[in-house]
Structure formats: structure tokens, C-alpha cells
Structure 1
């Protein structure tokens, strides 16, 4: 798959934006894990992310691509995300916002 900056940005924009966080910097993947725009393919970061094709046998077109935390993936056989990392909401009420994003292992 040829990945240029325009494709990275377009896939980034498919991530879930969250109230109270700058969507140009922070989004969440399908597992709810925090990802940082600047940490694309950064394996040393808690917020590193990658581009995953979620349609088996389909071309690497934008409609088939999703952003995922580097430790998360998509289980094509079961058509659902495979989550190893999600957002850490320890100590927060369901309606409370997050001041500083953190992730936790599932």
C-alpha cells in the first residue's frame, strides 16, 4: 500500500473525535484507545497508530481503511476490532471528560 500524507490525514479523520479534546491532535480508534496525530507509526509512543484495511480481499482504498492504535487490530474473520488497548477511564464517571488522555491494556 502506498501511503502518502494525504491518505494518512484522510484515515486520521475517520478516527472518533471526543468533546474536550483537540481533534486535530487526539482521536480514538474503534477500540476506544487514544491515538495522537503526530504519532503515526511511532512504536515507542503510548499513542502510536497505524492504518488497517478492514475489508478482506479489498483494495487499499480510503473506504476500506481505519486508524488503529499500534497494539490493536481488526479481526477480519469475525468482522470486529481486536482490542488490546483502550482508553483508561479509571475513576471517571461515564459522563466525565478526560483532562489528559491515557491508555490501558485490556
Structure 2
């Protein structure tokens, strides 16, 4: 879940961004995909837009998860809202279809 009260340093944001999935043929410094396959734009961190993304706790803080990099991931903002505090299984809201994000619900399990 997106931690609104936690402010991450630029270094932490960069480290989490690097955990996004690289797509061959795309500039990985600008574009990556999240755990559900949705496109994220690096410059849209914290922005509620089609390619906006947030830092998510894989195991939510409310369930004992930490702020360690190993427990953080970049998630497209609709997927982060859909995930909420669900763990280890959650339902996505979006995935990529070509160059666009589309509504798509899929079950994702992470540990």
C-alpha cells in the first residue's frame, strides 16, 4: 500500500524504480512495467495519471512489513490502490496492451 506519511529520498525512489521490469527496446531510465505488467513513467512518480506510479510495500506495514528495499516495489497507481493491504495475493486493476495501460483484473501472489 502507498504510504502517504512516508517520504522517500530521491535515492530510495531511484532504487525502487530499478526494481521495475525492463522492457526490451524501451528506455529503462524512462519506462518500466510493474508486477502486473502495467506501464510506468519514471517522471510520473507520485502523480495520479495513466503512467503514474507509487512505492508499494509488498508486505504491508500493517501486516509487519518493513521499509527495507527488499519489501518495496514500484506499482502503477491504479494497481497500488487495488492492492491496498492485500497480501500475499491481490487483484490488479491494470496491465499493458501494446503501448497503453488497460483495465485488467488478474490475481497476483507475492512473497
Q: State the distance in 2 between where 1:53 and 1:84 align.
A: 17
Q: TM-score, normalised by structure 1?
A: 0.80
The reply on whether 1:51 has 2:55 as its aligned counterpart is: yes
Structure 1 segments unaligned to the other structure (5+ residues): 90-100
The reply on whether 1:70 has 2:68 as its aligned counterpart is: no
- Displacement over 2 Å in runs of 4+: 73-78
Q: Write 1 or 2 for the structure with the bigger share of helix.
A: 2
Contact kept, 8 Å, 2:58 with 2:87, in 1: the verdict is: no
The reply on whether 1:38 has 2:43 as its aligned counterpart is: yes
Q: State the distance in 2 between where 1:67 and 1:32 align.
A: 11
2:16 corresponds to: 11
